[in-house]
Structure 1
Amino acid sequence: MSTFRELCDIFCCPPFPSKIASKLAFVPPEPSYSLINDTENKYCLCFQESAEWQYTEDDKFYIEAIYTRTKRGNRIACFYMKCSDTAVYTILFSHGNAVDMGHMSSFYYGLGKWLNCNVFGYDYSGYGASEGRPTEKDLYADIEAAFAVLTTKYKVKPVHVILYGQSIGTVPTVDLATRQQVGAVILHSALMSGMRVLCPSTSRTWFFDAFPVIDKIEKVTAPTLVIHGKNDNVIDISHGLRIYERCPRAVEPLWVEGHGHDDVDCRCGAYLERLRLFINVELGDQ
């Protein structure tokens, strides 16, 4: 039964999913890239300085930028990064909040090279070069459209897709993983639900809650790696712990000592080694 304090905490927040979502998640940055129509179906990718692309102009040759349309009518931008000629898996990456694919591009490329995987990124509606505005329903439509492109245009089999969600990106990642038989799932700085982030004393999913990841995770049947920084002051590590406990096929998690919400990346050796073990060894044992 809920305590009086819990009820006060909850109803001080407007009890509408869209309000919860806007408070928690959607802060599209100024676009860090643009797509210029080169030919009828080809786009030239132009990074702004804010993208901080760390590789050469020749490396950009391995990035194919395209548009696709979601079932909610928005045209969203996607990047397909051919990082390896021998890759078995392609990572479908759903990024965090205040970034777009331009900001993430160097990370995507470096991660793919390190893990011997190709990487497919997309921008949520209203982010980067994508049309529309971000909502919870659009998150689900966006990843569904990205997955469709990856498995049809690029002919990647679902069992060779690794869904990777970071922060708010864990929301569409888990939703898609409940509906598609993919090769694996990676949840990085995952949240249980919107209300549980805004009001930490909340111990149940209310009917007006947004992003109910904790209620969906039990339906995910793919091997799942949970990663969370122990010093995360945006989404407390308790979220990662509870998701790990509820996940049917969770593998050994990675709780990263001395790291928070945004600094578990390619500079962190434990992170890279855990990912490589998961993809190159543990998935091979399935």
Structure 2
Amino acid sequence: MYRLMLHGGVHVLEGTFVNGAFHKPLFFFCQTTMSTETDETRQSLLLEQESRHTANQHTHTEGAKMPNRKGPSGASRLKKCIGLFFEILYWLLTLILVQFWKACTAVALSLMLTYWLWGGWATFCLMIAALIGIFYNLQDSVLYFPNEPESSRLYVPPATALGIPFEYVTITTPDKVHLSAVLFKQRAELAPGVPTIVFLHGNAGNIGHRYMNLHELYAMCGCNILAVDYRGYGKSEGVPSEEGLYVDAEAAVNYLHSRSDIDQSAIILFGRSLGGAVAVHIAAHRHNRDKLAGLILENTFTSIPDMGSVLFNLDFVRWMPLCLIKNKYFSIRKVSRIQVPTLFLSGSSDELVPPKMMQALFRICGAPSKQMARFEEGTHNETWRCRGYFSVIRQFTATVCRPGSNVMEPSPSPTPGPSLADYLGRVNMQHQDV
């Protein structure tokens, strides 16, 4: 900034140089002389000049920051498109990598890249080991379906819809997992004298999806029912696994033995599909024999390797080393140790588990009394809709319950439903006493 002050009634010049040019000169004419100016007047003039200089600088700065009102150039649009492309690509790669790392060992990707770049037998062997790890860990995702139908982990239909007495129960397992369960009890004066069934469902959904079936079982067979969601299913905590499901089922049986309002000598374990494999394991253990009055198995399989060979049409699956099979459920090796009366319910039209597997389990079963009921039109999940299904179960519970247990006549359905006669029919029965 330049200042030129000519005292004695001469001009005062103020201005600034910006980019080599002199801008906005201000001329002031002073009518006073140097001799008549006081110190106060001089100070006021200097302050006024400084404030004007600051205002000029602010004006230039704001002018430099004024946005360009012209539309974006072609180069600018191209930059934005390229940036958006890389953002999408980054998001997709992140999603793929996250899913990859969830399913395999932490070094699988680096090993594959290392082998692709440099090769080497050691890297190849490590890569194969990592791929085996992927295969091993992915087995859970093709066996357990707790979220099918969608939102099955978030929503369990309320039991109030059935219109029968019930209570919500939380069962704590030895490894501190809290399981969600519902206990359907007969009327207070009858509940202590009737059988109680522990119902173990299949590998998908939650107990709410079985309420219609349980309603008919309750009404037609006159029993109490404890329906349990495994760990990782419905509102239960944890993650499903073979050992975990065994612990859950045993905890459910022990829970009933802790209650004084039911007949502890008339507890029957009922397993359907995957639940059947869990029930076989529980019933085959010596320390559980005195806890169970009977066992019911419906449309269950011999082992997971056998099921793998059927579902994927690959015979070599059943001959794979067991160390590569995460979930085995070898019912065929355990069923011979069962020492409680057992009822087999087999749907001859089962589209998932071959009925010959049920026949194989029946032949090998070591129960002192065992029974096979075949339903020609029974499918994997809908055998319970076949004629005669509930009458067979009721006859079985009447046979195995110890003296003192009261087997009720079928109670009227709390809500309109089929009568007992609708469920009675000719059933192909096979009975064997050992």
- TM-score tier, shorter chain, comes to 0.7 to 0.9
**Among candidates 246, 260, 282, match of residue 379 of structure 2:** 260
Check the 8 A contact 1:25/1:168 in 2, yes or no.
Answer: no
Q: State the alpha-carbon separation in 1 of the partners of residues 136 and 388 from structure 2.
A: 36
Matches within 5 A, 1:82-161: 82-84=185-187, 85=190, 87-154=193-260, 156=262, 158-161=264-267
Q: Is the 8 A contact 1:54 1:106 kept in 2?
A: no
User: 1:105, 1:67 → 2: CA distance?
Assistant: 18
- Give, in whole Å, the separation in 1 of the partners of 2:236 and 2:307: 27
* 1:13-92 matches, cutoff 5 A: 19-29=138-148, 30-31=151-152, 47=157, 55-56=162-163, 59=164, 62-84=165-187, 85=190, 87-92=193-198
Distance 1:173 1:17, change over 3 A: farther
CA deviation after TM superposition for structure 1 residue 96, in Å = 1.3
Please list every run of at least 4 consecutive aligned residues from structure 1 whose deviation after the TM superposition is greater than 6 angstroms. 13-17, 202-205
Q: Give the aligned partner of residue 218 of structure 1.
A: 336
* Residue number in structure 2 paired with 1:165: 271
- Residue 156 of structure 1, CA deviation: 4.3
Q: Which region of structure 1 is more displaced relative to structure 2, 205-214 or 63-72?
A: 205-214
Structure with the larger RCO, 1 or 2 (CA within 8 Å, 6+ apart) = 1
TM-score, with structure 2 as normaliser = 0.53
What residue identity is the alignment partner of 1:229?
A: G
- What letter is aligned with 1:74? V
Question: SS state of the match for residue 251, structure 1?
Answer: strand
Aligned residues: 255
Residue in structure 1 matching 2:396, options 252, 266, 278: 278
Q: 1:215 offset after TM fit, Å? A: 0.8
Match of 2:61 in 1: none
Cα separation, 2, equivalents of 1:205 and 1:192:
16
**SS in structure 2 of the partner of residue 252 of structure 1:** strand
Percent sequence identity over aligned pairs: 25
Q: Is the 8 A contact 2:179 2:228 kept in 1?
A: yes
Q: Is the contact made by 2:271 and 2:279 (CA closer than 8 Å) also made in structure 1? A: yes
Structure 1 residue 101 displacement after superposition: 1.4
Aligned with residue 197 of structure 1, among 307, 314, 317: 307
Displacement of 1:88 in angstroms is 2.5
RMSD of the TM alignment (CA)?
Answer: 2.8
Q: 1:114 to 1:69 in 2, by over 3 A?
A: same
Aligned-residue offset at 1:221:
0.4
CA gap 1:123/1:239 in 2 versus in 1, 3 angstroms: same
Contact 2:162/2:211 (8 A) holds in 1: no
Q: Distance in 2 between matches of 1:247 and 1:17?
A: 30
| 1:186 maps to 2:307 | no
* C-alpha deviation, 1:251, in angstroms: 2.1
- Alpha-carbon deviation of 1:21? 4.5
Residue 17 to residue 211, structure 1, CA distance change in 2 (3 Å): farther
The 8 Å contact of residues 189 and 240 in structure 1, kept in 2 or not, is answered as: yes
Distance 2:293 2:181 in 1: 21
For residues 130 and 109 of structure 1, do their structure 2 counterparts lie closer, same or farther at Cα, with a shift above 3 Å needed? same
Q: Alpha-carbon deviations, 1:77-98, whole Å to 9, x = none?
A: 1111103515421000101122
- Partner residue in 2 for 1:207: 322
Where does the alignment leave 5 or more consecutive residues of structure 1 unmatched? 1-12, 35-45
Q: 175-184 or 106-115, which moves further after superposition?
A: 106-115
1:263-284 per-residue CA deviation (whole Å, 9 max, x = no partner) reads 111x322211211221124656
| Counterparts in 2 of 1:212 and 1:18: CA distance versus 1, 3 Å | farther
- Structure 1 SS opposite 2:322: coil
Deviations 1:235-273 (A, max 9, x none): 1111101100110125230121022101111x3222112
Asked whether the 8 Å contact 1:229–1:264 carries over to 2, the reply is: yes
- Greater shift in the superposed pair: 96-105 or 233-242: 96-105
Residue 32 of structure 1: how far off its partner (Å)? 7.6
Q: SS at the partner of 1:258?
A: coil
Higher helix share goes to which structure? 2
Secondary structure of 1:120 counterpart: strand
Q: What residue identity is the alignment partner of 1:197?
A: M
Which runs of 5 or more structure 2 residues have no equivalent in the other structure?
Answer: 1-130, 404-432
2-structure distance, mates of 1:225, 1:18: 34
Structure 2 equivalent of residue 237 of structure 1: 355
TM superposition shift of 1:178: 1.8
Alpha-carbon distance, 1:127 to partner: 0.8
Letter paired with 2:332 = I
Tell me how far apart the structure 1 counterparts of residues 402 and 309 of structure 2 sit (CA, whole Å).
Answer: 40
